[in-house]
């Protein structure tokens, strides 16, 4: 994983304010814009790829019902938010 993405995730982990901001975002473009404003040094493609990997790792232990509630009926931006706000546990 890109070291700057790790730094970004650490910053989010330590900040309830940032976690709250990310919880309001519903699409990958907005998530990337906010992430890049917090920590530079990674592309949008790197960001989305890494967040997708973290999301997939995070949902391993969730039931299908839990995943459906989190995703809100197909909101793909939620996948990134789960990854971002839960990434520290996966790292």
Query: What are the tens digits of pLDDT across the range 41-52?
Result: 999 999 989 988
- pLDDT of 38 over the 50 cut: yes
Angle between helices 44-58 and 76-90 (to 10 degrees): 70
- pLDDT of 57 over the 70 cut: yes
Full-model pTM: 0.69
Query: What are the tens digits of pLDDT across the range 71-85?
Result: 655 555 555 665 665
Rounded alpha-carbon distances, angstroms, from residue 7 to 46, 59, 74, 85: 14, 22, 29, 13
Please, are residues 15 and 35 in contact by the beta-carbon 8 Å criterion? no
Stretch 17-21: mean pLDDT: 88
């Amino acid at each position: 994983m890109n070291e700057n993405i790790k730094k970004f995730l650490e910053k989010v982990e330590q900040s309830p304010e940032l976690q709250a901001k990310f919880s309001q975002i519903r699409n990958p473009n907005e998530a990337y814009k906010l992430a890049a404003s917090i920590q530079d040094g990674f592309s949008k493609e790197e960001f989305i790829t890494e967040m997708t990997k973290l999301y997939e790792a995070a949902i391993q232990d969730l039931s299908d019902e839990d995943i459906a509630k989190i995703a809100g009926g197909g909101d793909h931006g939620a996948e990134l938010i789960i990854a971002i706000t839960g990434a520290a546990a996966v790292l």
